Amino acid sequence: MMGFHSESGRGPGLSGDLSLRLPAFGAGQMLRLTTGRPWQSVLDAASAAPTRPAAVAEAIDDHGKLPKGVVRQLGIKIMFLLVKPDGMSANEFHRYWMETHSPLVVRRSDDMAMRRYIQSHLIPSPMAVGAAEARGWPANPFQGVAEVWWDSEEAMAAAFSTPKGADAGEALAEDEKKFLDDRSMIAMTREYLIFDKT
């Protein structure tokens, strides 16, 4: 969805300032959201990772011995924690994300080798507010979370190294500037199924 630029330290986001960390690249690797040639710099960031200073959070690939019944899921997932611009209403944000941005992702998903895409939209919840306050946590700044799955980091990198993949990444990054604030964040994750009672 968004382009990346390797960076040490913290700065803003979609406007080119928010430093973010992709765990798979090792301790110390920071990524900053940018436009330009999205995803191509992911490969550069990966190779430069060993030279970067320590980051805020330590990224590891081995998350420990799995308890009985816990299953490591296949593939990797990038989570986009989305903040709307101050000048956009919540209703405008959610409608644009669902009605305009998601069809664009669907149309270009094969070019980027995406396997799955989920939008989680914020709903009003006094319970959620109370739970955060009880823990002494700050108010939630996010309007939603987008989750995108790939078979692997290698598959993702290969897709964005193609002309179609690079063009698709640029198209999404350009559209994101219309409804996302530079406080939005990204995390690359691996899923572990603890239980599923559905």
Q: pLDDT digits over 75-132, tens only?
A: 999 999 999 999 999 999 999 999 999 999 999 999 999 999 999 999 999 999 999 9
Predicted pLDDT at 63: 86
- CB of 165 within 8 A of CB of 159? yes
Cα(166)–Cα(171) distance, rounded to whole angstroms?
9
- Of residues 2 and 197, more confidently modeled: 197
**pLDDT greater than 60 at residue 138:** yes
Residue 128: partners with Cβ closer than 8 Å, 6 or more residues away:
140
Predicted pLDDT at 44: 57
Residue 61's pLDDT band (cuts 50, 70, 90): confident
Considering the segment(s) 3-59+70-193 as one domain, its CATH architecture is 2-Layer Sandwich (3.30)
Torsion from C-alpha of 145, 151, 152, 158, nearest 10 degrees: -100
Q: What are phi and psi of 118, to 5 degrees?
A: -130, 135
Predicted pLDDT at 55: 53
Q: Which of 42-51, 56-65, 150-159, 186-195 has the weakest average pLDDT?
A: 42-51
Residue 166's pLDDT band (cuts 50, 70, 90): very high
- CB of 37 within 8 A of CB of 156? no
Rounded mean pLDDT, 157-170: 95
Question: What is the average pLDDT score of the chain?
Answer: 80
